[in-house]
Each structure stands twice: as C-alpha cells, then as structure tokens.
C-alpha cells in the first residue's frame, strides 16, 4: 500500500468529517494525558515531558487517522458509499420537523396525563379498599 489517498476526490465530506471527529478524540486524549502528567515528579521542566508525549501522541493519532480514513481501501469504500447514500436521503423540511416535534410533545403530555389519572384512580381505590395507608 502506497502513501497516496485511496480514490481521491470521492467521499470528501465523509472522510473530512470523520477525520475531524477522530482528531477531536485524539485531542481530548492528549489533553487528558497532559493533565495526568502534571503531577509527575521529574528532575527537569515538566512541560518538556508533557509537550514531548503530547507531540508523539498527536503524530501517532494523525498516522492512524490517515491510515484508516484515507488510505485503507475497506474503510475508504465504506465512507465513499456512505456519502453516496446520504445524497439519496429525502431530508425533511423545517416545517415538517416543527410539526412532528409538536405532535411528539402533545402525545408525551397526553400519555403523562393519562398515567397520572390512572395512578390517582388506583391510589384512591386502594385507599378506599384499605390496601394503602395514606397517613
């Protein structure tokens, strides 16, 4: 396998956003390691240790991101296919989303009201029968 990009120009946005997401994860991991190394006792400036390890981890992360997102045929084919399928999706309009959201909210409140009524009814029934002691 060479150093080039497998099928360049195809699946640009899915590859790019996957690389950004993976980069954020690598950055979060490097920040975590940096913070953990702040309590290490060394005989030289601690920032050199933190910076050196952070740089190595960033380089390793970048190499893995490049390998798996840009040059590996299997993952590249998956990302290219994903972008092709996303172009076929029929995206809802803003009006449809707002209407659907109001329906979900209304149904949730209706179910909550029904369950509250049933709960109060059973509570009063069980209190009347003597199975539930309210006091």
Give mean pLDDT, residues 51-72. 93
CA distance 102 to 112: 15
| Per-residue model confidence (pLDDT) at position 10 | 86
Delimit the domains of the chain by residue range.
Answer: 12-88, 91-135
The one-character DSSP state at 72 is -
Residue 61 CA to residue 23 CA, distance in Å, equals: 8
Tell me, yes or no, if the pTM score tops 0.85.
no
Mean pLDDT across the chain: 91
Q: Please name which of 57, 9, 14, 8 lies closest in space to residue 32, comparing C-alpha atoms.
A: 57
Q: In 10 A of CB 66, how many CB atoms?
A: 15
């Amino acid at each position: 396998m060479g150093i080039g990009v497998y099928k360049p120009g195809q699946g640009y946005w899915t590859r790019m956003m996957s690389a950004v997401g993976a980069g954020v994860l690598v950055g979060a991991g490097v920040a975590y390691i940096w913070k953990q190394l702040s309590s290490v006792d060394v005989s030289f400036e601690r920032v050199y240790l933190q910076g050196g390890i952070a740089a190595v981890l960033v380089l390793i992360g970048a190499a893995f991101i490049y390998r798996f997102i840009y040059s590996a045929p299997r993952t590249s084919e998956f990302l290219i296919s994903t972008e092709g399928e996303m172009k076929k999706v029929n995206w809802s309009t803003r009006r449809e989303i707002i209407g659907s959201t109001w329906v979900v909210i209304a149904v949730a409140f209706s179910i909550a009201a029904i369950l509250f009524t049933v709960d109060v009814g059973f509570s009063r029934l069980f209190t009347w029968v003597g199975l539930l002691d309210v006091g």
